[in-house]
Amino acid sequence: MEIKDIHSFLVYYTRIKDRTRKLFEHIPTEKIEWTANKGKFTIGDIIRHLALTERLMYVENVCLKPSLYSGCGESYAKGYQNTINLYNELHLESVEILSQFTSEDLLKKCETPGGHKITIWKLLRAMVEHEIHHRGVLYTYLALLEIKTPPIFGLTSEEVIRKR
């Protein structure tokens, strides 16, 4: 899917972010720094990682600047509400910056942190894939905690089968 118009992309991307946000309501505040394995991202790390990579890596790169991403630990936001606020605030900053892009801007080349040249619209598409990947990790973490989560599109697999 080629991204040709930034405004329609931002509407789509905000819906993706909203589905991630729905999961936040199911995270017990005392589990924000829980992890499945020592040394791996905590739930809070994942949320901060999404916020910080979006704004400080992806958006910086598509603005033809180097990545400013330097981690996602509690030094960026400590506690449940501060972590959620960081996610929301940095997304708003990203949208404000990206909304200035023209169709011509989307066709320019930028450089990834790995030094690869890529068309801007393709890196924006990768940003969406990154969000979805980490949302899946959040679903897995919550399942390990035996926390019921909302179905992503309104029905569970079992409910879809029953409707046949």
**Euclidean distance between CA atoms 80 and 78, whole angstroms:** 7
Structure-token pair, residue 118? 């890529």
Which of the residues in the chain have pLDDT under 70?
none
pLDDT at 58: 98
| Residue 123: domain span | 6-162
For 119, phi then psi, to 5°, come to: -65, 140
Any domain includes 126:
yes
User: How many domains does the chain fold into?
Assistant: 1
Task: Note the pTM of the prediction, 2 decimals.
Answer: 0.94
pLDDT at 159: 82
pLDDT at 154: 79
Any domain includes 130:
yes
CB proximity list for 125: less than 8 A, separation 6 or greater: 1, 3
Q: What Cα–Cα distance (Å) separates residue 36 from each residue in 109, 141, 145, 164? A: 38, 7, 9, 36
pLDDT at 22: 94
Q: CATH number of the domain that 148 lies in?
A: 1.20.120.450
pLDDT at 127: 98
Any domain includes 1:
no
